[in-house]
């Protein structure tokens, strides 16, 4: 290795070798090789995650934090190892700042309910943005209905970027919490979250980052970002469905009441007075999705071994390539042209509705997402009902982008 | 997967040039059909002359399947009685959901048989039936207030 000074450049991914780790990528769909470009919806899983899941059920299955027997101890140990893996992955200070949830949606609902109960009163303000997923809109609407707090919305530009002046104008002494998406699932916009967090902290507001798209594709350091809460989606980052992480700063979490009541989250229960467990158990009532959490560790380890900088560089290459190719197809218009974008290309076509594009591409074995991407207010802002969206991950190739482009030419033949 | 079975020429033609497109003026009634999965919305306008569908039209945005289905629906039920229109609805719905035993031999379907391929695309059944549900609701809706009233 030669000394170059500074950070070494991200090594190019050996994508063809990585693809062999993902059994599903070898399959055919509708008689054609699968081209999976719906990674913003869910990622495919490497063999190590699939094996960890079956190994857990074959050799380790027991309920956690309960029994004195071997399997309960074993399951508990494996469950907590994922917590430590998540702590390391996101560079949190303490493992007890990592709360396991079913998904990002549950993490946001937990914060809305629990932070809301402790810190949000009538007349207080919660700020979200126009480009949020419904899961980062509706929990706050519910909180506002319950408390009389006011929901404020950061505008977006025609290019699909947050209007930061508009954001700063909304911040004030009544702002309690800012909850924004790190990377937009619908457009791929990477938001300037460090700046957003610093401005919020300047008025004493906490910040939740919806990292459902970010965590899979870019290195996230919750301490460096100084976010108060961060949620991610395990199944979008190579993990099984049913296991995700909510990170919360200890200083907030220890002052927040439980979200759900039940087993595991208590210290002592009596009909006169129940006391609650400390962190993180207080926020993990009932038997969690243990097997999924255990296998989730294999996903963290896989991403660490590949390196998120290399993943981001590879996706950026695919994004640049796909953007140029798609723009060349007559009648195609890209939606979301922010300066800083992750590997998501959203587009519409003059002669074909996104739904029809999706069906034609499916006939070629190509999986994309079509619709409003659970972001109806954003679609309305952009004057659209729906878009077609291709989203890339570490195992996608330029050849697959070519297949998408060929498919789009077929769409034109059918509808133009 | 035979895409040609879904996107037949007649369907593509109605998608490009929808028939009976636009709002109906008073006296008419209307209802909106909405597909939460894709955000598409089609509004169907009906003017009844006694028991008969005197005129029918549609507006909105949707995919080729939902637009062509709306367009061909308006042609299929115009001039029919309420009861006859309901029978066409039932036959059509049974065909696109794959529950019709012999759509080819069903005289109520007529040209609508081009939608028989939809049954093999479960995710598109909602698109094909969107306007039909809106029609049924429009026929049951109260009359629109005349503009300016």
Distance in Å, alpha carbon of A357 to nearest chain B alpha carbon: 9
Is-contact A295 A239, C-beta < 8 A? Answer: yes
* CA nearest to B7 within chain A: A414
Average the pLDDT over B3-14 and give the result: 92
Q: Give the integer Cα–Cα distance in Å for A321 and A250.
A: 42
What pLDDT does B149 receive? 42
Is-contact B135 B73, C-beta < 8 A? Answer: yes
* CA nearest to A416 within chain B: B16
Distance in Å, alpha carbon of A360 to nearest chain B alpha carbon: 7
Return the sign of the alpha-carbon dihedral for residues A209, A212, A213, A214: positive
Structure confidence by residue, pLDDT tens digits, A279-297? 999 999 999 999 999 999 9
As given in the structure block, the two tokens for residue A160 are 């699909």
The pTM for the full model equals: 0.93
Distance in Å, alpha carbon of A381 to nearest chain B alpha carbon: 14
What pLDDT does A4 receive? 43
Structure confidence by residue, pLDDT tens digits, A187-227? 999 999 999 999 999 999 999 999 999 999 999 999 999 99
Instruction: Give the gyration radius of chain B's Cα atoms.
Output: 15
Tell me which residues of A are annotated as active site.
374
Which residues does chain A have within 8 Å of residue B121's beta carbon, measured at their own beta carbons?
359
Q: What is the ipTM of this complex?
A: 0.88
Which residues does chain B have within 8 Å of residue A379's beta carbon, measured at their own beta carbons?
39
What pLDDT does A301 receive? 98
**In B1-149, which residue ranges form alpha helices assigned H by DSSP?**
3-6, 9-16, 64-77, 82-96, 125-140
């Amino acid at each position: 290795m030669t000394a170059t000074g500074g950070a070494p450049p991200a090594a190019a991914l050996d994508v063809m070798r990585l693809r062999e780790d993902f059994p599903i990528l070898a399959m055919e769909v509708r008689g054609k090789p699968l081209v999976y470009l719906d990674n913003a919806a869910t990622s495919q899983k490497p063999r190590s995650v699939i094996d960890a899941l079956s190994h857990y059920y074959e050799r380790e299955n027991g309920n956690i934090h309960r029994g004195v027997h071997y399997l309960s101890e074993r399951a508990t140990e494996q469950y907590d190892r994922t917590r430590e893996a998540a702590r390391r992955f996101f560079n949190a200070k303490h493992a007890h700042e990592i709360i396991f949830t079913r998904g990002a949606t549950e993490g946001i609902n937990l914060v809305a309910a629990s932070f809301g109960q402790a810190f949000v009163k009538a007349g207080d303000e919660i700020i979200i943005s126009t480009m949020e997923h419904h899961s980062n809109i509706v929990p706050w609407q519910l909180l506002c209905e319950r408390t009389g707090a006011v929901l404020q919305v950061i505008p977006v530009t025609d290019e699909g970027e947050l209007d930061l002046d508009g954001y700063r104008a909304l911040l004030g002494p009544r702002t309690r919490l800012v909850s924004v998406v790190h990377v937009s699932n619908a457009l791929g916009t990477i938001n300037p979250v460090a700046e957003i967090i610093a401005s919020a902290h300047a008025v004493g507001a906490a910040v939740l980052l919806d990292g459902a798209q970010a965590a899979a594709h870019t290195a996230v350091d919750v301490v460096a970002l100084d976010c108060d809460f961060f949620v991610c989606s395990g199944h979008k980052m190579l993990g099984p469905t049913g296991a995700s992480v909510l990170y919360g700063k200890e200083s907030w979490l220890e002052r927040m009441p439980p979200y759900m009541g039940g087993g595991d989250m208590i210290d002592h229960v009596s009909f006169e007075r129940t006391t609650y467990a400390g962190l993180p158990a207080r926020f993990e009532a009932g038997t969690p999705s243990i097997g999924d959490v255990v296998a989730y560790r294999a996903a963290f380890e896989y991403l660490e071994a590949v390196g998120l900088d290399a993943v981001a560089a590879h996706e950026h290459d695919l994004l640049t390539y796909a953007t140029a190719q798609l723009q060349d197809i007559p009648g195609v218009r890209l939606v979301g042209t922010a300066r800083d974008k992750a590997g998501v290309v959203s587009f519409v076509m003059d002669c074909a509705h996104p739904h029809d594009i999706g069906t034609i591409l499916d006939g070629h074995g190509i999986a994309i997402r079509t619709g409003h991407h659970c972001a109806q207010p954003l679609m309305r802002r952009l004057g659209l009902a729906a878009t077609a969206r291709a989203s890339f991950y570490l195992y996608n190739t330029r050849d697959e982008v070519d297949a998408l482009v060929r498919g789009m030419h077929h769409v034109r033949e059918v509808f133009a | 997967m035979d895409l040609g079975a879904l996107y037949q020429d007649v369907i593509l033609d109605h998608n490009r040039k929808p028939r009976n497109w636009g709002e109906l003026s008073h006296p008419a009634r209307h209802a909106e059909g909405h597909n939460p999965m894709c955000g598409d919305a089609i509004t169907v306008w009906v003017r009844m002359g006694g028991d008969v569908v005197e005129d029918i039209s549609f507006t909105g945005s949707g995919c080729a399947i939902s637009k062509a289905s709306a367009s061909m629906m308006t042609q299929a039920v115009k001039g029919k009685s309420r009861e006859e229109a309901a029978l066409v609805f039932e036959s059509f719905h049974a065909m696109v959901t794959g529950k019709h035993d012999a759509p080819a031999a069903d005289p109520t379907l007529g040209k609508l048989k081009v939608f028989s391929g939809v049954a093999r695309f479960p995710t598109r059944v909602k698109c094909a039936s969107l306007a039909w549900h809106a029609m049924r609701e429009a026929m049951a809706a109260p009359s629109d207030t005349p503009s300016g009233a």
